[in-house]
Chain A
Amino acid sequence: EAQVTQNPRYLITVTGKKLTVTCSQNMNHEYMSWYRQDPGLGLRQIYYSMNVEVTDKGDVPEGYKVSRKEKRNFPLILESPSPNQTSLYFCASSLNGGRARQAEQFFGPGTRLTVL
Chain B
Amino acid sequence: QQQVKQSPQSLIVQKGGISIINCAYENTAFDYFPWYQQFPGKGPALLIAIRPDVSEKKEGRFTISFNKSAKQFSLHIMDSQPGDSATYFCAASKATGRRALTFGSGTRLQVQP
Which residues of A are interface residues toward B (Cβ below 8 A)?
Answer: 4, 31, 33, 35, 40-45, 48, 50, 56, 58-59, 90, 92, 94, 99-100, 102-110
Contact = CB atoms under 8 A, between A and B. Distances in A.
Interface of B: 2, 4, 6, 31-32, 34, 36, 41-46, 49, 51, 89, 91, 93, 95-96, 98-106
A45 B94 CA distance: 13
Contacts, number: 73
A104 B46 contact: yes
A18 B6 CA distance: 35
Contact of A42 (B4, B43, B49, B96): B4
Nearest to B106: A42
A83 to B, nearest CB: 22
B100 A107 contact: no
Given A42-B106, A109-B41, 19 more contacts: A4-B43, A31-B99, A33-B99, A35-B101, A40-B105, A41-B105, A42-B91, A43-B103, A44-B103, A48-B99, A99-B51, A99-B95, A102-B95, A103-B32, A103-B93, A103-B95, A104-B46, A105-B99, A107-B44
